[in-house]
Structure 1
Amino acid sequence: MLPESSEPWTPLVFAHRGSSRRHAEHTLDAYLLAIEEGADGLECDVRLTRDGHLVCLHDSRIDRTSDGRGRVSTQTLAELDRHDFASWRTDLSGEGLITGRRGGVLTLDQLLGVATDAGRPMRLLIETKHPVRYGGAVESALVQLLRRYGLDRPDPERPLRVTVMSFSANAVKRVHQLAPRLPIVMLIDVWSVPSRIGWLPPGSTIGGPGVQLLRAAPELVERLHRRGCPVYVWTVNEPDEVDLVAKLRVDGIISDRPAYVIDRLRDMGHRS
């Protein structure tokens, strides 16, 4: 039985690929809506194009999320930008899909601009995908871009704060070597001895278990907390999932439905 606590608890709510139940994922509209809905932060995946640009895409291919075909890594930014990444989705959620404007691929550079211009403090979680054709060049390009914005280290004077995430321990290590002060999430989706005891690989400062893992091993949150590691959980969309992470008092909730999660937390007394 996990101990109850009377201490105030208000987790951060991150919009997973934007408000992606209402708009196509990784689109400008999805992120603008998430900001409007009051999300504390935004989450994105990044991949490198053939000409070295970081674009916000989850899959290695563009077939699912655009009207085009082919691998991200074999196309230039200009080639990707010819396709429509905004209007491909149909409403399967029952929540009223908002059909977005036709739009090309969203670059990380553009998303950083959107988050910076949010008009309030904002956080951005950036996941580097692996394995990929370009290996460690992804983390190198990412840190270079963050350095250009002055975001490669925490700065209380800046309204935007960045955290990097990955399922790859090697990627975590690379980011830590390139930007030692940058917070890093080690994403966890399998039940392993290290995750069972709350151990994270060197360089990572935050644990990132999937909500299904926490169903099987709720004690993982307490073990990570004992080691001084915050816990960000993905992808929390349903009422019972919100209730679970609330009971476990996680530090960050990553959701396709940020407005819904915020409203449920408010009803539970965890948001003002």
Structure 2
Amino acid sequence: MQPAVVAHRGASAHAAEHTLAAYDLAIAQGADALECDVRLTRDGHLVCVHDRRVDRTTNAKGVVSTLSLAELSLLDYGGEIGVLTLDALLGLAADHGVPLFVETKHPVRYGGQVEARLVELLATRGLARPSTKEESPVVVMSFSTLAVRRVRALAPRLPTVLLLTQLWPTLRDGTLPPWADHTGPSVAMLRRDPEYVARAADHGHATYTWTVDDPADVELCAGIGVRWLATNAPAATRATLAR
């Protein structure tokens, strides 16, 4: 089975990341799923912004957590005015019937409030208690072990991914902590240790790999059984998989 193509911050190789234009393009390019990062604003709204600051992605400067939603909505995000809220992106994903992978960013000044607010928002949309994890329209991810544990405690039915930049000694055999359903290694990790995917599968854990744009990396991931492949260029990645 080929990996599912997950649009990393939308089709961010061709449109400004975390904008409706990027996600609309990703869907048009045939992405199987979407991915976003979330942070809390000063007034408690979840917005789709990767960096702690808005300097790189907007025409302004400032820390996301010190700005209100109204203030963030005045900024220019690569030609699109207004920050993308998670609620709006959930609506877009639902309209097109594609799953959404949500990464909570840490460390942040609001700590566990990020996951609490996320679960609250999902609950208002009827998404916090899926009938099965396989059928869940939302998957929650983080590099923070505490964040993933909080999600499991707050919403046990939501599927979770523990993102990894390196393999801890205790995880080399493919096991994960009991509160993580799937593993999330970088593609650089898999270049060094491609057998890790099979070891994780032996323990019942599927693999989500980031961020995969190079055709050789796409082919590597397809060959070793990666289930979800996060990419900035969904169309090009899908073309590589179709060869």
How does the TM-score come out when normalised to structure 1? 0.86
Q: Which residue of 2 aligns with 1:113?
A: 91
Aligned-partner Cα distance in 1 for 2:37–2:83:
13
Pick aligned residue for 1:67 from 59, 84, 87: 59
One of 182, 190, 207 as aligned partner of 1:206: 182
| % identical aligned pairs | 53
> 2:13 maps to what in 1?
21
Change (3 A) 1:133 1:256: same
Amino acid at match of 2:4: L
Matches within 5 A, 1:67-216: 67-87=59-79, 102-118=80-96, 121-155=97-131, 161-216=137-192
Paired residues in the alignment total 241
Q: How far 1:155 sits from its partner (Å)?
A: 4.2
Q: 1:43 aligns with which of 16, 35, 48?
A: 35
Deviates more, 1:11-20 or 1:159-168: 159-168
Whole-Å separation in 2 of the counterparts to 1:54 and 1:133: 14
How far apart are residue 129 of structure 1 and its match?
Answer: 0.4
Q: Given the superposition, is the C-alpha separation of residues 160 and 230 from structure 1 closer, same or farther in structure 2, using an over 3 Å criterion?
A: closer
Residue 220 of structure 1: which of 196, 199, 209 is its match? 196
CA contact (8 A) 1:188 1:195 kept: no
Matched letter for residue 39 of structure 2: R
Question: Do the aligned partners of 1:188 and 1:208 also contact (CA within 8 Å) in 2?
Answer: yes
Cα distance in 2 between the residues matched to 1:194 and 1:231: 17
CA contact (8 A) 1:208 1:232 kept: yes
Gaps of 5+ in 2: none
**Correspondence for 2:26 among 18, 25, 34:** 34
In structure 1, the gaps of 5 or more residues are 1-8, 88-101, 268-272
How far did 1:201 drift? 2.0
* Aligned counterparts of 1:40 and 1:255: Cα–Cα separation in 2: 11
Report if aligned partners of 1:185, 1:204 keep a CA contact under 8 Å in 2.
yes
Larger Rg: 1
Contact (CA 8 Å) 1:18, 1:30: kept in 2 or not? Answer: yes
Q: Deviations over 1:163-212 (max 9, x none)?
A: 00000110011000000010000001023213322121221100000000
Tell me, in whole angstroms, the C-alpha distance in 2 between the residues paired with 1:160 and 1:68.
Answer: 36
Aligned match of 1:5: none
SS of the equivalent of 1:145 reads helix
User: Residue 27 of structure 1 contacts residue 105 of structure 1 at CA under 8 Å; is this kept in 2?
Assistant: yes
Aligned equivalents of 2:171, 2:52: Cα separation in 1? 27
SS of 2:99's equivalent in the other structure is: strand
Secondary structure of the residue aligned to 2:38 is: strand
- Note the aligned Cα RMSD (angstroms): 1.3
**Match of residue 94 from structure 1:** none
8 A Cα contact 1:13 1:254, kept in partner? yes
Which portions of structure 1, spanning 4 or more consecutive aligned residues, are displaced by more than 3 angstroms? none
Deviation at 1:78, TM superposition (A): 0.4
Compute the TM-score of the two structures, normalised by the length of structure 2.
Answer: 0.96
2:53–2:64 CA contact under 8 A, matched in 1 = yes
Alignment deviations for residues 108-137 of structure 1 (CA, whole Å, 9 cap, x no partner): 01101111111xx31100000011000000
